[in-house]
Structure 1
Amino acid sequence: MSENHHHPHELSDGEVRARALESLLREKGILQGHVVDEVIDIYTNDIGPLNGARAIAKAWSDPDFKKRLMADATAAVGELGISGMEGEHLVAVENTDEVHHVIVCTLCSCYPWPVLGLPPRWYKDAPYRARVVREPRSVLAEFGTIVPPDKHVKVLDSNAEVRYFVIPQRPRGTEDMSEEQLAQLVTRDSMVGVTVLPDVTDKVAG
């Protein structure tokens, strides 16, 4: 069913436009290489994942929204003003005490850009795409995530028609936090499922 995937040599319309714009700006001397790298890093690690973090925080805080998110993630995140290319057919899956989900796209790198930002390089690399299916616990351990033997690890394969993202388990110690505070705890990697969020401990005010 490879026709459902963007193959590695194929670019989405957004990627084509972005590369064309980057090339033009470099040619005109408007953008330097290190500036482009910094902007990409910001969108990969900060701005992009904040959308997904807002949705996760609301799901933790609002049971009704969580039900809608689990039933139709595309529509639910749309309620928060989150939409866009590569954001169709979103499916949210929840990590629990019984199961840990991790996301991959084995044939390419289908990825829910509107909620997770730009895909990290390791997500697109062949070793991750191949190994996480065969030996998910070993791959997760390399990210520092040790899944207990009695917890099932479920690997979900995204494609152009289904783009998964993970609702991580809510950390203990966050019961009194606002949605804004909760969103600050959520990371891109936890929404891919390669990491878990640490519990929050009381800190002595400095």
Structure 2
Amino acid sequence: MELISDFENLRREMLENSREIIRLLKQRIKLAQKIGEIKKMNGGEIHDYNREREIIKLISGDRFTQSVLNILFEFSIHYESNSQLNLPGYVYKNINGNNYMEFNGETKNLLGMLKFILNPGSVVFSENKEYKNLISGPGIHIINHKIEDPDVYVDVNGNYGGDIIINGRQMLISKNFLENRENIYRVIIR
């Protein structure tokens, strides 16, 4: 009986922790938008690599923390950019009749962000060793044989046939992927 009680207490604590994380992330979005407005007024560059390296040195103690920080940086850049363009939080594009959510950043950071968007337990195939290294992480299974019937295609060369398209500094995630994400476990990166 005590084990069940501990389990439920841990679940409640995790839920509260998740709520606090979301509250802080929303606060961070507002800060990123204000920073974007200040940079716009002063003609500053949105991406400040020196500041990112400084923050990583101050906070990062391991690879997980650094990965999370890189994701936060890319989301911040996204919101700062949108602030400069007077756009809402997310940018939607219609390409060839498909709706895509847009994220901006360096390809390596976009692939790093993607591994956190994929479901834990996802199986990923790519013939590109660099992509494999960037997407690998806890819960992602990298395989060396082609997937016959993948759930999703990630196209890193900007061809607009994939469910997720990475083209230079832009990542487009299809509405179809977002709506069916809980069923997506077999991924090909090409």
TM-score range with shorter-chain normalisation? 0.3 to 0.5
Of Structure 1 and Structure 2, the greater helix share is in 2
> Which structure has more RCO (C-alpha within 8 Å, separation ≥ 6)?
1
